[in-house]
């Protein structure tokens, strides 16, 4: 690994020297600025070996650094060569600080298709001279780079989308007209999927057709996408108001917007768009992607689809947990084989399309790697009397799931310190699930609710508590997240958010408990001064009773856990075969 990546780093430095640059920025994302990228967009993995879903690298002639957040501290150390890469924390030791220390006044190149304006502005404050490039030098050094994906798109049926695409286009166009804007750049393929009611096959785990769009104030759309992705059925679904162009037509179309007011989301759009529009003489109107918030607030059909998807998913989870209970301590199973067994159970379900992300299947010390992914090199046996963490999800035509359970393999009893920490994580998980809060409260305001039981013992976790989840779209969806680092965007009814506090002891084990929650209006109470929201728990899977210290739970917490387990049994028990149902009855017995 070290030799290969050393050669790649040397090849990039040769390209930089040939262009007169002192360095280059390498983000994790591709031109669509999303979390998941196709093989052709895995630039950071190609140059460094790091395969996590978030990060950035900076390469100078004499040194290089890679920046990741707390989820990937252990992973980046395992996957990168310390002789080649300095490892830095993305927020505690940000790239701008590193540039200020090592590259002030130097010419640092960047690909304007791979960075939003806001990111470049922050990095430019370092004193480095940031230079937009026409040709990406890493791409020039990358021999054998995979071709861009050409997965076939498909219409999302109205029974699952809940609203007709023409109705959505008209509503979003009205938003633009009210703001005095002639058009809006849609650089996020999730927004295009939602607006046009299409899904695609360009990514393994997120059903996107990768492309760009221009939404006009007359409700028409210019769609920039490889025509091979759009067959006659999809073109008929799109209708005459959606005109398809190749991506290469973008410069000419944008040039035609001279003198017009164009909305552009500076946080989610490549800086190339802003630069091209300015050069064309358009008036830029910075503002949020108009589809982002409506997409996050699921309509009644999408909410019903989420409940149905979670019910089916719960059947696979119950079958897996039953299987695991009899195989975990017997030996012979590995992290990969266990994840494969859960996937096999999901594949039996109606409307299942794919995993919503690569399953995080971590036994023992690997469970302490927050976003661990077992490989043939790292895969290890699941042993008796240890902790096992499985975080997984499914993409169904009617909804997206994401669930984490931490399990004890047995047959012996778990150690008291593990039980105490698991119970504290569970208490935080329950606290968020049962929270009532005023409308207008945002994700950062409620993050501490899930951490409080851990804080009481001097413990914490280095990741957010919750993220948004799409409707047969991305398992990680904005704009709201439950995190102290998140933007304070209010939680709204219809949003689906995860509830996943955790605790990680490096070299020993990881604990995380995750359900998905649907935000809804809370019933009014006597004398209530303003509207409140509450959460409906969508996920249906029992907790491992062996890891719960009942004495640490309050009566209300114990009552909630018992009621939840009873609900799991009542809702999915009748649809399970007798042996699994019998196991579930024991797993869901009152504490």
Q: Could you report the per-residue pLDDT of 453-486, keeping only the tens digit for each?
A: 999 999 999 999 999 999 999 999 999 999 998 9
Q: Which of 74-78, 101-105, 108-112, 224-228 has the lowest mean pLDDT?
A: 74-78
Structure confidence at residue 70 (pLDDT): 81
Structure confidence at residue 30 (pLDDT): 97
In words, the CATH class of domain 2-141 is: alpha beta
Neighbouring residues of 375: CB distance < 8 A, sequence distance ≥ 6: none
What is d(CA 473, CA 294) in angstroms, rounded to the nearest whole number?
14
As annotated, the residues of the chain forming the CATH 3.40.350.10 domain(s) are 2-141, 154-294
Residue 533 pLDDT exceeds 60: yes
- Band of residue 1 on the pLDDT scale cut at 50, 70, 90: very low
**Mean pLDDT for the chain?**
96
What is d(CA 107, CA 72) in angstroms, rounded to the nearest whole number?
29
Q: Which of 322-326, 369-373, 515-519 has the lowest mean pLDDT?
A: 369-373
Q: What is the DSSP string of 482-547?
A: ESTTS--PBP-TT-EEEE--EEEETTTEEEE-BEEEEEEEPPP-TT--S-EEEEEE-------GGG
Residue 2 pLDDT exceeds 70: no
Q: Does pTM top 0.85 for this prediction?
A: yes
Structure confidence at residue 371 (pLDDT): 86
Structure confidence at residue 74 (pLDDT): 82
Of 487, 508, 586, the closest CA to residue 545 belongs to: 586
Q: Secondary structure of the chain: what % helix, strand, coil (to 5)?
A: 40, 20, 40
- What pLDDT, in 10s, does the model give residues 425-441? 999 999 999 999 999 99
Fold adopted by 297-587: Creatine Amidinohydrolase (3.90.230)
What is d(CA 466, CA 157) in angstroms, rounded to the nearest whole number?
29
CATH superfamily of the domain spanning 154-294: Creatinase/prolidase N-terminal domain (3.40.350.10)
Residue 180 pLDDT exceeds 80: yes
Structure confidence at residue 3 (pLDDT): 58
Task: Tell me if 548 sits within 8 A of 558, measured CB to CB.
Answer: no
What is d(CA 494, CA 267) in angstroms, rounded to the nearest whole number?
24
Structure confidence at residue 91 (pLDDT): 86
Angle of the 165-178 helix axis to the 189-196 helix axis, nearest 10: 120
């Amino acid at each position: 690994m070290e030799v290969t990546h050393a050669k790649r780093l040397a090849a990039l430095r040769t390209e930089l020297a040939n262009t007169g640059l002192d360095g280059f920025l390498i983000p994790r994302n591709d031109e669509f600025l999303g979390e998941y990228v196709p093989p052709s967009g895995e630039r950071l993995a190609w140059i460094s070996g790091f395969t996590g879903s978030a990060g950035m690298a900076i390469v100078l002639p004499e040194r290089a650094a890679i920046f990741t957040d707390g989820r990937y501290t252990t992973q980046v150390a395992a996957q990168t060569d310390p002789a080649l890469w300095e490892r830095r924390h993305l927020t505690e030791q940000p790239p701008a600080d590193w540039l200020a220390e090592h590259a002030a006044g130097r010419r640092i190149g960047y690909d304007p298709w791979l960075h939003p304006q806001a990111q470049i502005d922050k990095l430019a404050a370092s004193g480095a001279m940031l230079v937009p490039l026409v040709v990406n030098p890493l791409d020039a050094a990358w021999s054998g780079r995979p071709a861009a994906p050409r997965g076939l798109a498909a219409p999302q049926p109205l029974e699952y989308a809940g609203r007709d695409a023409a109705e959505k286009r008209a509503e979003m166009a009205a938003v633009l007209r009210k703001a005095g804007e002639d058009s809006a750049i849609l650089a996020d393929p999730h927004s295009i999927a939602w607006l046009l009611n299409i899904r695609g096959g360009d990514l393994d785990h997120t059903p996107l057709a990768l492309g760009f769009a221009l939404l006009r104030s007359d409700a028409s759309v210019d769609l920039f996408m490889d025509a091979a992705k759009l067959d006659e059925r999809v073109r008929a679904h799109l209708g005459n108001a959606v005109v398809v162009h190749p991506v290469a037509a973008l410069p000419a179309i944008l040039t035609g917007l001279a003198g017009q007011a164009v909305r552009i989301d500076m946080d989610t759009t490549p800086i190339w768009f802003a630069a091209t529009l300015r050069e064309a003489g358009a008036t830029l109107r910075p503002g949020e992607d108009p589809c982002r918030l409506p997409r996050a607030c699921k309509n009644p059909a999408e909410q019903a689809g989420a409940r149905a998807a979670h019910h089916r998913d719960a059947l696979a989870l119950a079958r897996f947990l039953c299987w695991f209970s009899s195989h975990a301590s017997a030996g012979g199973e590995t992290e990969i084989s266990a994840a494969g067994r859960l996937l096999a159970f999901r594949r039996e379900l109606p409307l299942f399309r794919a995993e919503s992300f690569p399953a995080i299947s971590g036994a023992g010390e690997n469970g302490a790697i927050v976003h661990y992914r077992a490989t043939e090199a790292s895969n290890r046996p699941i042993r008796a009397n240890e902790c096992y963490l499985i975080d997984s999800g499914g993409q169904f035509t009617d909804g997206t799931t994401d669930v984490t359970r931490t399990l004890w393999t047995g047959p012996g009893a778990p150690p008291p310190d593990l039980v105490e920490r698991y119970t504290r994580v569970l208490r935080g998980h329950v606290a968020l699930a049962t929270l009532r809060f005023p409308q207008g409260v945002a994700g950062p305001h409620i993050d501490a609710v899930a951490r409080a039981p851990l804080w009481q013992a001097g413990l914490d976790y280095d990741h957010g508590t919750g993220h948004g989840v799409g409707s047969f779209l991305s398992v990680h969806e904005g704009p709201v997240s439950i995190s102290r680092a998140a933007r304070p965007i209010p939680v709204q009814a219809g949003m689906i958010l995860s509830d996943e506090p955790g605790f990680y002891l490096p070299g020993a084990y990881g604990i995380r408990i995750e359900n998905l929650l649907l935000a809804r209006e809370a019933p009014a109470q006597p004398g209530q001064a303003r509207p409140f929201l509450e959460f409906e728990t969508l996920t249906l899977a029992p907790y491992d009773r062996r890891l719960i210290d009942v004495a640490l739970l309050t009566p209300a917490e114990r009552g909630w856990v018992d009621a939840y387990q009873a609900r799991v049994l009542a809702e999915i028990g009748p649809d399970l075969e007798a042996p699994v149902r019998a196991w579930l009855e024991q797993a869901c017995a009152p504490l």
